[in-house]
């Protein structure tokens, strides 16, 4: 051992030898994060002259804690913003949380229930105060988790959708929409959750196939009777018609007549309506306008009365034997009563049909006639669709566009009122004489006798739809708004494309004079378990990201998630894979340790090309290419390719091959060792910077140690040096190939490390078949008969023998297989082999074609000899 392999040649990093042999995330992460925040790296300056780059956080619900899906999303956003920050953009990653109306109210109500109380025991004001208290605790938990993840958010700008400023934005846009007649109040069939006791919008309803029972009931008497089928017998109390198809001859005689409604003293008309499918069931439908959206429409067309039969708890309100029964009890009671009257004409049969459930509590939705507030979405949605259609906003991956269009082009009006207490109260006052007044943020509410404010609050997505500009101070024209609106990109899950993305598009375009809220939407998939199953608490496969971060480090969790992130595709993640990422972090750690121990340096210019060894030129050439690839993948939101590419470059090429090659250089010492120290330093410097956005902690710790500089967070993003050396790349590829073959040979022959190769050995068994197969595949020529031969010799015991890879192929069979034109075949072969970095040619003979490949191995002969010699000395690599 010489001194210069033990001591850094120069530089300030002698302390680096103290790095432990394993990376311990727990010891550095918290310290580094606090340092970043203290130094203000993540704070965005709206007065800066730099170009802006802004992303808003999809605000997590204050309910509870972050799950792996958040960790995933945050990793992507953090990687994007960290890179842009390094590239010199004025970067804003806007943090904040959503008040999550129903979800939060449900949780706090559940807490109250444990104390035996309901929200009504507290009253509205005290209840809301209680929710605020709860929010204070829960919100803190979330920001703690974000710090653990390393999220580079600007904490000084944290917002909450119920903040004063954001509430002002809500009131402002409500008033503007109201004045533009895009918000209105109307009585319609809405999706009612009898447990949450509120209306919900169409997309908050989840449909699933439920088992029901279809019963057939005879309405009317004798000639004037008709059989209807239903799964919801209890609604018959509210029937106000029977509908049949206008062309249905079976019932033509009944249309316009009235028939008796069983169990009541009412009679109802038979109407003809196109909606009825004559093929389905009996072709006759009971019509309950107050409890079914389709029936409501039929009722409208035929001017039918709307008979409400259930209250908000889905309990029957009609006087009589069924009053007070809930909908399920009423269903069986009514069927029993009908059977007693002989009106059940077909036994009930099991019937699977799609039933709506509340997305918050899974209770079966009760469609219900109700007075609610609505947004008239058609004009807003048209603008939202056009912004994507005309390219002002692009959606990644592109396949998701059709989903987006399918939705914005077919929207029903949006029910925005909720019968909750937690949320933005609708800024409308009702006067004593029936007046309705919408109050803007700078107006005094009416105060006279008899005025009262609307008690409903707004759908939580109403305020989150304003997020890209409300967080920047809108409706004020703030400097922040000018600087950071529109956002550069929106990163979110495809599951909230309609809930959130489309709403932001509608509101953004409307409020910001036609400027969309972001230029690009990058949609990611959902995190799943290692078998591709959806993660859920009830299934028991949900993972708390904190547990994994504790065990393996935040970088490992982040890298695993990034590595699975193909655009728009779900991401499976398993603990094994996090371990693999942890191993990678440790590998980076130890490779850097090796570099430091051997005096790698980042100081001074790179040595001139003529001083570089083939290995140096190869790795620098590859480094340039990798920087460009990484840039392309970042720009295209290809996180999986990005991560995988960097993983393999770092591990296979830099850590395995280049580092191994430098070992002999370092041992030899002298000027070549100096050169390689600088090159190794350069390569690690760049690799750490490239990896930093994905794995911020380990790279920060190592980069600052390696370079002695302040922080990689504010380091320059690497640029492609433009240096390329095809010859060196091929040369090293040849070296790698040969070394691998020698190793394989030794392994096949069972040679122990350190054991010298005997002078004579039988080689026939080993690599020849591989060469032959490669030849065949390469040429895409199946050998006809047994004419094909290939021979190869390997450098053993220091002696290198030229490889003679040639084959003779019977042309009789091949001539058909190739084209009739051999010249064309030759041309194609040339192209093919050129792609593979080899020379190839066909030579024609009367009865056969000789195909030869000349691999450029001669060029590498010197290195091959050297490496082979080293292999004799260094038994394994």
Partner RNA sequence: GGGUGCAUAGCUCAGCGGUAGAGCGCCGCCCUUACAAGGCGGAUGUCGGCGGUUCGAACCCGUCUGCACCCACCA
Long-range contacts of 820-825 (CB under 8 A, 24+ apart): 822/849
Please, what is the minimum distance in Å from the beta carbon of residue 821 to RNA?
A: 9
The whole-angstrom separation of Cα 300 and Cα 440 is 34
Nearest to 58 by CA among 138, 128, 137, 146: 146
Query: Rule CB under 7 A: which of 592-621 touch RNA?
Result: 593-594, 597
454 vs 810, which CB is nearer to RNA? 810
The answer to the question of residue 813 lying near RNA (CB under 7 A) is no
Please, what is the minimum distance in Å from the beta carbon of residue 573 to RNA?
A: 8
73 vs 295, which CB is nearer to RNA? 295
392 vs 815, which CB is nearer to RNA? 815
Please, what is the minimum distance in Å from the beta carbon of residue 594 to RNA?
A: 3
Q: Collect all residues with Cβ–Cβ distance below 8 Å to 800 and sequence separation of at least 6.
A: 861, 864, 865, 868
Q: What angle do CA 368, 431, 105 make, to 5 degrees?
A: 45
The answer to the question of residue 762 lying near RNA (CB under 7 A) is no
Going residue by residue from 238 to 277, which x/- string records binding to RNA, judged by CB under 7 A? Answer: -------------------------------------xxx
Please pick, from the candidates 64, 139, 431, 875, the single residue that binds RNA as defined by CB under 7 A.
Answer: 875
Please pick, from the candidates 290, 620, 818, 867, the single residue that binds RNA as defined by CB under 7 A.
Answer: 818
The answer to the question of residue 207 lying near RNA (CB under 7 A) is yes
166, exposed or middle or buried, with CB in 10 Å at 0-12, 13-18, 19+? buried
The answer to the question of residue 330 lying near RNA (CB under 7 A) is no
The answer to the question of residue 23 lying near RNA (CB under 7 A) is yes
36 vs 414, which CB is nearer to RNA? 414
250 vs 780, which CB is nearer to RNA? 780
Please pick, from the candidates 780, 789, 798, 844, the single residue that binds RNA as defined by CB under 7 A.
Answer: 780
The answer to the question of residue 478 lying near RNA (CB under 7 A) is no
Residue 706 has phi, psi (to 5 degrees) of -65, -45
Query: Rule CB under 7 A: which of 531-570 touch RNA?
Result: 531-532, 534, 564, 566, 569-570
Q: What is the DSSP string of 14-82?
A: GGGGG--SS--HHHHHHHHHHHHHHTTTT---TT-SSPEEEEE--PPBSSS---HHHHHHHHHHHHHHH
The answer to the question of residue 831 lying near RNA (CB under 7 A) is yes
Going residue by residue from 630 to 669, which x/- string records binding to RNA, judged by CB under 7 A? Answer: ----------xx--x---x--x---xx--xx--x------
Please pick, from the candidates 463, 487, 488, 586, the single residue that binds RNA as defined by CB under 7 A.
Answer: 586
Q: Checking phi first, is residue 423 left (phi over 0); if not, alpha (psi -120 to 50) or beta?
A: left
Pair 809, 783: CB distance under 8 Å: yes
The answer to the question of residue 524 lying near RNA (CB under 7 A) is no
Overall size of the chain counted in residues: 877
316 vs 734, which CB is nearer to RNA? 734
Nearest to 163 by CA among 109, 98, 103, 106: 98
Please, what is the minimum distance in Å from the beta carbon of residue 226 to RNA?
A: 12
The answer to the question of residue 876 lying near RNA (CB under 7 A) is yes
Strands 241-244 and 267-272, bridge-based pairing: parallel
828, exposed or middle or buried, with CB in 10 Å at 0-12, 13-18, 19+? middle
Q: Which residue has the tokens 């109040």?
A: 185
Please pick, from the candidates 178, 251, 296, 498, the single residue that binds RNA as defined by CB under 7 A.
Answer: 498
Pair 86, 130: CB distance under 8 Å: no
245 vs 483, which CB is nearer to RNA? 245
Please pick, from the candidates 125, 223, 249, 279, the single residue that binds RNA as defined by CB under 7 A.
Answer: 279
Query: Rule CB under 7 A: which of 351-370 touch RNA?
Result: 353-354, 356
230 vs 488, which CB is nearer to RNA? 230
The answer to the question of residue 9 lying near RNA (CB under 7 A) is no
Please pick, from the candidates 110, 537, 760, 835, the single residue that binds RNA as defined by CB under 7 A.
Answer: 835
Pair 487, 90: CB distance under 8 Å: no
Query: Rule CB under 7 A: which of 218-237 touch RNA?
Result: 228-232
Pair 809, 825: CB distance under 8 Å: no
The answer to the question of residue 49 lying near RNA (CB under 7 A) is no
Please, what is the minimum distance in Å from the beta carbon of residue 875 to RNA?
A: 6
User: Which helix or strand (DSSP H or E) is residue 417 part of?
Assistant: strand 417-418
b/e string for 563-585 if b means 16 or more Cβ within 10 A?
A: bbbbbbeebbbbeebbebbbebb
Residue 774 has phi, psi (to 5 degrees) of -65, -40
Please, what is the minimum distance in Å from the beta carbon of residue 795 to RNA?
A: 15
Query: Rule CB under 7 A: which of 403-442 touch RNA?
Result: 403, 406-407, 410
Is 50 part of any known ligand binding site? no
Per CB under 7 A, the segment of 199-207, 452-460, 696-704, 843-851 that binds RNA is: 199-207
Q: Collect all residues with Cβ–Cβ distance below 8 Å to 73 and sequence separation of at least 6.
A: 58, 491, 492, 493, 524
108 vs 679, which CB is nearer to RNA? 679
591 vs 675, which CB is nearer to RNA? 591
144 vs 837, which CB is nearer to RNA? 837
CB atoms within 10 A of CB 25: 23
Number of residues that bind RNA (CB under 7 A): 96
Cα separations (Å) of 534 from 399, 541, 571, 572? 22, 8, 10, 9
354 vs 764, which CB is nearer to RNA? 354
**Binding-site positions for ATP:** 537
């Amino acid at each position: 051992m010489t001194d210069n392999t033990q001591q850094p040649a120069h530089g300030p990093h002698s302390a680096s030898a103290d790095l432990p042999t394993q990376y311990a995330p727990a010891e550095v992460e918290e310290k580094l994060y606090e340092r970043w925040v203290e130094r203000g790296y993540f704070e965005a300056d709206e007065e800066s002259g730099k170009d802006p780059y802004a992303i808003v956080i999809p605000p997590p619900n204050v309910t509870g804690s972050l799950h792996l899906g958040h960790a995933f999303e945050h990793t992507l956003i953090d990687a994007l913003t960290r890179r842009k920050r390094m590239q010199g953009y004025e970067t804003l990653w806007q943090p904040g949380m959503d008040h999550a109306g129903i979800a939060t109210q449900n949780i706090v109500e559940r807490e109250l229930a444990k104390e035996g109380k309901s929200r009504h025991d507290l009253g509205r004001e005290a209840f809301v105060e209680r929710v605020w208290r709860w929010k204070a605790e829960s919100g803190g938990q979330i920001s703690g988790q974000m710090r653990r993840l390393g999220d580079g958010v600007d904490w000084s700008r944290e917002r909450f959708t119920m903040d004063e400023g954001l509430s002002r934005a809500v009131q402002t846009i409500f008033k503007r929409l109201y004045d533009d007649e895009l918000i209105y109040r109307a009585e319609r069939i809405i999706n009612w959750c009898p447990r949450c006791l509120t209306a919900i919008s169409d997309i908050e309803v989840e449909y699933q196939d439920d088992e029901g029972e279809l019963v057939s009931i005879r309405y009317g008497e004798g000639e004037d009777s008709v059989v209807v089928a239903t799964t919801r017998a209890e609604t018959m109390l509210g029937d106000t018609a029977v509908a049949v198809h206008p062309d249905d001859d079976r019932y033509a005689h009944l249309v316009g007549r009235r028939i008796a409604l069983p169990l009541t003293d009412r009679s109802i008309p038979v109407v003809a309506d196109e909606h009825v499918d004559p093929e389905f069931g009996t072709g006759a439908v009971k019509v309950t306008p107050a409890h079914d959206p389709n029936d409501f429409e039929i009722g409208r067309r035929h001017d039918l009365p709307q008979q409400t039969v259930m209250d908000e708890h889905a309990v029957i309100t009609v006087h009589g034997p069924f009053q007070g029964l809930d909908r399920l009890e009423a269903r069986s009671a009514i069927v029993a009563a009908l059977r007693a009257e002989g009106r059940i004409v077909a036994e009930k049969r099991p019937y699977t049909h799609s039933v709506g459930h509340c997305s918050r509590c899974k209770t079966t939705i009760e469609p219900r006639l109700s007075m609610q507030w609505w947004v008239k979405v058609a004009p807003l949605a048209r603008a939202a669709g056009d912004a994507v259609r005309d390219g002002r906003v692009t959606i990644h991956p592109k396949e998701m566009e059709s989903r987006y269009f399918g939705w914005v082009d077919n929207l029903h009006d949006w029910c925005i009122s909720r019968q909750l207490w937690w949320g933005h109260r609708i800024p409308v006052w009702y006067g004593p004489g029936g007046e309705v007044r919408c109050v803007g943020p700078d107006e005094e509410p009416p105060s006279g006798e008899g005025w009262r404010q609307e008690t409903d609050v707004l759908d939580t997505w109403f305020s989150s739809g304003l997020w890209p500009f409300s967080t920047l101070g809108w409706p004020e024209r703030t400097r922040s708004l000018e600087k950071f609106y529109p956002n550069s990109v929106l990163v979110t899950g495809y599951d909230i494309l309609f809930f959130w993305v489309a709403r932001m598009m509608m509101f953004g375009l409307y409020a910001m004079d036609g400027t969309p809220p972001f230029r690009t939407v990058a949609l990611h998939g959902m995190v799943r378990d290692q078998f591709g199953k959806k993660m859920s608490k009830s299934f028991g496969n949900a993972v708390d990201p904190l547990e994994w971060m504790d065990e393996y480090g935040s970088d490992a969790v982040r890298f695993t998630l990034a590595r699975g992130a193909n655009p728009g595709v779900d991401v499976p993640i398993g603990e094994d894979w996090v371990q693999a990422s942890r191993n990678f972090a440790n590998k980076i750690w130890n490779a850097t340790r090796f570099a430091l121990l051997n005096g790698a340096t980042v100081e001074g210019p790179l040595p001139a090309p003529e001083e570089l060894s083939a290995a140096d030129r190869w790795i620098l050439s590859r480094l340039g290419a990798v920087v460009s690839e990484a840039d392309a993948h970042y720009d295209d939101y290809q996180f999986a390719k990005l991560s995988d590419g960097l993983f393999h470059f770092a591990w296979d090429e830099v850590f395995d091959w280049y580092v191994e090659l430098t070992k002999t250089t370092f041992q030899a010492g002298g000027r070549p060792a100096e050169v390689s120290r600088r090159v190794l330093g350069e390569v690690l410097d760049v690799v750490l910077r490239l990896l930093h956005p994905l794995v911020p902690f380990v790279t920060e710790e190592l980069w600052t140690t390696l370079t002695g500089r302040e922080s990689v967070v504010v380091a320059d993003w690497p640029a492609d040096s433009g240096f390329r050396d095809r010859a060196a790349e091929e040369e090293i590829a040849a070296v790698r190939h040969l070394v691998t073959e020698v190793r394989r040979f030794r392994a096949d022959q069972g040679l122990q490390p350190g054991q010298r190769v005997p002078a004579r050995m039988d080689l026939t068994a080993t690599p020849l078949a591989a060469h032959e197969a490669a030849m065949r595949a390469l040429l895409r020529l199946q050998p006809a008969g047994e004419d094909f031969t290939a021979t190869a010799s390997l450098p053993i015991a220091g002696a290198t023998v030229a490889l003679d890879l040639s084959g003779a192929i019977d042309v009789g069979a091949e001539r058909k297989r190739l084209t009739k034109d051999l010249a064309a075949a030759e041309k194609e072969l040339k192209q093919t082999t050129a792609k593979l970095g080899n020379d190839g040619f066909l030579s024609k003979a009367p009865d056969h074609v000789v195909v030869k490949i000349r691999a450029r191995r001669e060029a590498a002969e010197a290195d091959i000899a050297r490496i082979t010699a080293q292999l004799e000395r260094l038994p394994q690599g």
